Amino acid sequence: MKIAVVGTGYVGLVTGTCLADSGNTVICLDINAEKIARLSRGEVPIYEPGLEEIVHRNTASGRLLFTTDVSTAIAGAEVVFLAVGTPPLTDGSADLRALWSVVDSIAIHLSTTAVVVTKSTVPVGTCAGIEKRLKDRLGRDCRVASNPEFLKEGAAIEDFQKPDRVVVGVRCDDVAGVLRNLYLPFLRTENPFLIMSPESAEMTKYVANALLATKISFINEVANLCEHLEANIDDVRRGIGHDRRIGFAFLFPGAGYGGSCFPKDVQALAAMARKVGVLPRIMTAVHETNSAQKNVLGEKVLRHFRGIMTGKSIAVWGLAFKPRTDDVRDAPSLVLIDQLLAGGASVRVHDPEAMENVRAMYGDRLVYALTPLEAISGADCLVIVTEWGDYRRPDFDEMVRLLKSPVIFDGRNLYSDQEMHARGFQYYPIGKPPIHAVENRTMEKS
């Protein structure tokens, strides 16, 4: 098939690359000329494990192409995927201006049999809006479908190539057949191809993300309660997770969720509810709980230093909103950094992939360390925000030597309480009593 993908962000680039890798000819379209030039040279502007290799392989074979020219991309395309951003407006609803602009620009280039597919996360009713907009411009009915993505940053290639399900929202069987044929190479393990209305498909995407976000906010709220009642969230999590009705997924306490999906999708679902007169009590609480959770680490640090941060040097491990990505959108680390800087502290940061994205935001207001140990050298404490594998088994003896005082605020509960006590760390996890280890702790260095 000849496929066009409009938008070369995380979703668009992964979609186009994986479809090219299954034998299709794919042209990726973007208005950002610099990005297209970089991609044409084989430079992948985002970090996603495995993506660069597949991009190189398919550009070399001629199956994956990049352009800024609408006609080149759209003319003759059998399927046109729309994968442009839908960021939140001030009221939380999705901003569809980029999407409508794309629909207007591609209309005259669409073949009479082309299928226009929304990959962007869009409010319920958007497919119907696209159908009407295209008919108004072309004077004929166009085939439009919804095909929401369920990709996890850091595992997007595997998620696309081995999906647990493919959801398509269509109004006629022949469009479903086109999309089934396109996805057939990825459905060899009998995972379901789910056909529903476009409205149901659009809602499915929001509900999936909102439910996962709800689990995260719920366990974080319970973790905060555990700290006040001297309970251990790890024990509680094990106690409930073995219940088959509950399970363990997304029940790990931490510093709050971030990224491009959960924050905006929870707000957008709430905005959709308000628009039709339904009070979104749970969604509002989920968003508010997560916003508050992002302050928890900074508040712990502030209490430890009795509110005096001036002159303190704080090391931060982990800047991306999750491991295996360089994405810092709505990342908890940014809230922490702002808190520390506002308090007068100096901040030393490390992340395996996201350093340049943070440098573009903060410039010389931060110290950027090349290694985790460089970040903690001379620091008054360490705060862990992202659970990169690089941080799971550090040299604790060297950490004690390098830190001014062996104090760790662990926003992802990477270490065992017993080991922290044995090694003499003052340790502040999430949802568990802190470890003071006064009798073993190395004396603060002068």
d(CA 82, CA 79): 10
Closest to 187 measured CA to CA, from 206, 170, 167: 167
Beta bridge partners of 28: 5, 66
Q: Checking DSSP bridges between strand 166-169 and strand 2-6, what pairing results, if any?
A: unpaired
| Residue 298: other Cβ atoms inside 10 A | 24
| Residue 375: other Cβ atoms inside 10 A | 23
- Structure token pair of residue 317: 């491990």
**Is the CB of residue 237 less than 8 Å from the CB of residue 252?**
yes
- Count of all residues that appear for the chain in the document: 446
- Structure token pair of residue 86: 């839908």
d(CA 17, CA 20): 5
| Residue 14: other Cβ atoms inside 10 A | 28
User: Can you tell me which residue has the tokens 């696209």?
Assistant: 130
H-assigned helices in 261-371: 262-275, 281-293, 296-304, 332-342, 355-362
Q: How far is CA 123 from the centre of its chain?
A: 19
d(CA 128, CA 144): 8
**Is the CB of residue 166 less than 8 Å from the CB of residue 194?**
yes
User: Can you tell me which residue has the tokens 């605020």?
Assistant: 409
**Is the CB of residue 199 less than 8 Å from the CB of residue 173?**
no
Beta bridge partners of 3: 26, 79
Question: Among all residues, which ones are annotated catalytic?
Answer: 261
Tell me the backbone φ, ψ of residue 202, rounded to 5 degrees: -60, -40
DSSP single-letter state for residue 148: -
Q: Which residues of 23-46 are buried (b: 16+ CB within 10 A; e: fewer)?
A: ebbbbbbbbeeebbeebeeeebeb
**Is the CB of residue 124 less than 8 Å from the CB of residue 272?**
yes
- Angle of helix 198-229 relative to helix 281-293, nearest 10 degrees, comes to 50
SS3 of residue 76 by DSSP:
coil
